[in-house]
Amino acid sequence: MFAFKEDSYAAALKEKPAGIALAWPRPEQDLKTYIDRAHDAGCKVTLMAGGVPEAERGASAGADIIIAQGTEAGGHVGWMATMTLTPMIVDAVAPIPVLSAGGIADGRGLAAALALGADGVLLGTRFMASNESPLHPNFKQAIIESNGHDTVLTEIPDIAAGIVWPGAMSRAKRNRFVERWAGREWVLRQHQAEVLAQIRAARKAGEADEAPLSFGQDAGLIKEILPVAEIVRRMATEAEEIISKRLPRFAK
């Protein structure tokens, strides 16, 4: 919602989607009005929050689901880790359902999120490395090859795109593009339009080292590109195994 366009929102609601996802509302935006309009269109609303105040704001405005997004996630994130943030938001907005996001890529993460009080999880990076993902194969491969340590919180992707996300940093792969501009952000601002054109060309060509690539630390858990259905099946099976067989041993 940071760069919210009224005509785009109105067009989206006209299609009467089953759900719509909101995130990063500016302090001056009337969040309740947007959520009410979505409800009037028969649409459920999720609100992504990187902290308890944002979650409480979304709950007060009528969001149907709050997404607790930890800093491990890719793209724009806050500063608190998923393990801490999830139960804090669960406590703050109960009984509104909460999904946990950030650093979750397998059944272990799903089981952990449920143990923290979440009602489910939201996946980003794991689905980026799927058959159905529109990413260039080279960018998917960069996720597969990541060890989870090769990401960095930076404003460089936003500066290059000529946008500002208030209060957020972007988690992206620490590739050649990011390293080239790290510490030289002022120069990047001077050449923003030129650099953005180069980024677009690099993405089209699949040059994974010459464009920002946002993904989470959980890339270190992702070893292969799979169909989305198989990803979900494996996660559910592993989580069920943990909850039904492994964890009960500790309750005896």
Model confidence at 6: pLDDT above 90:
no
**pLDDT tens digits, 195-220:** 999 999 999 999 999 999 999 999 99
Beta strand pairing call for 44-49 and 19-23: parallel
And the tokens for 195? 């650099």
Q: In which band, very low, low, confident or very high, does the pLDDT at 251 lie, cut at 50, 70 and 90?
A: confident
pLDDT value of residue 165: 80
pLDDT value of residue 250: 85
Domains in the chain: ranges and CATH = 6-129+228-251 (3.20.20.70), 137-221 (no CATH)
**pLDDT tens digits, 121-130:** 999 999 999 9
Q: In which band, very low, low, confident or very high, does the pLDDT at 28 lie, cut at 50, 70 and 90?
A: confident
Q: Buried (b) or exposed (e) across 3-21, using 16+ Cβ within 10 A?
A: eeeeeebeeebeeeeeebe
Q: Residue 223: phi, psi to the nearest 5?
A: -115, -15
Model confidence at 4: pLDDT above 70:
no
Strand partners, 23: 48
| Contact (CB, 8 A) for 209 and 177 | yes
Strand partners, 226: 130
**pLDDT tens digits, 121-159:** 999 999 999 999 999 999 999 999 999 999 999 999 999
Q: What is the pTM of this model?
A: 0.92
Average pLDDT, whole number, for the chain?
Answer: 95
3-state secondary structure of 96: coil
Model confidence at 3: pLDDT above 80:
no
Model confidence at 2: pLDDT above 80:
no
**pLDDT tens digits, 55-111:** 999 999 999 999 999 999 999 999 999 999 999 999 999 999 999 999 999 999 999
Q: Buried (b) or exposed (e) across 114-132, using 16+ Cβ within 10 A?
A: bebbbeebbbbbbebbbee
Picking from 161, 216, 217, 211, the residue whose alpha carbon sits closest to that of residue 189 is 161
pLDDT value of residue 68: 98
Model confidence at 230: pLDDT above 90:
yes
